[in-house]
Amino acid sequence: MADPLDWSKLPSELSWLAGPAERFGLLQVDDPIHDFLRGLDPVGRDELRTLSEQWGGAWPAVNSWLGEYPTTAHPEARLVYSTGHLLGTGADAGLL
């Protein structure tokens, strides 16, 4: 069984990342990401657009945090990184 996630590693100003990272961070490869994004309904697409805007505004803090917590050693960082990858992939593909 996997170790439980420890979201206390996130600074308080980034605590909003935990929920989305748990929901979207498991999609780590482009084909499943594209399939997921293509299947979104308008409400889901709007939710991810809002998340993407929030992510963009917090990018310096997110990037700094990811620098402190390598994805290879911290599953929380891996989920946050993968969520960012999903958002970037969606934006680049015009799906968000």
Contact in structure between 53 and 68 (CB atoms under 8 Å): no
Say which DSSP state 8 is in.
Answer: G
Cβ neighbours around 71 below 10 Å, total:
15
Express each pLDDT in 85-94 by its tens digit: 999 999 999 9
Indicate the pTM of the whole model.
0.91
Mean of the pLDDT values across residues 8-23?
96
Contact 80, 25 (CB under 8 A): yes
> Tens digit of pLDDT for each residue in 36-84?
999 999 999 999 999 999 999 999 999 999 999 999 999 999 999 999 9
Cβ pair 74, 67 in contact under 8 A:
no
pLDDT for res 2:
63
According to the model, what pLDDT value does residue 1 have? Answer: 47
CA atoms of 8 and 29, how far apart (whole Å): 27
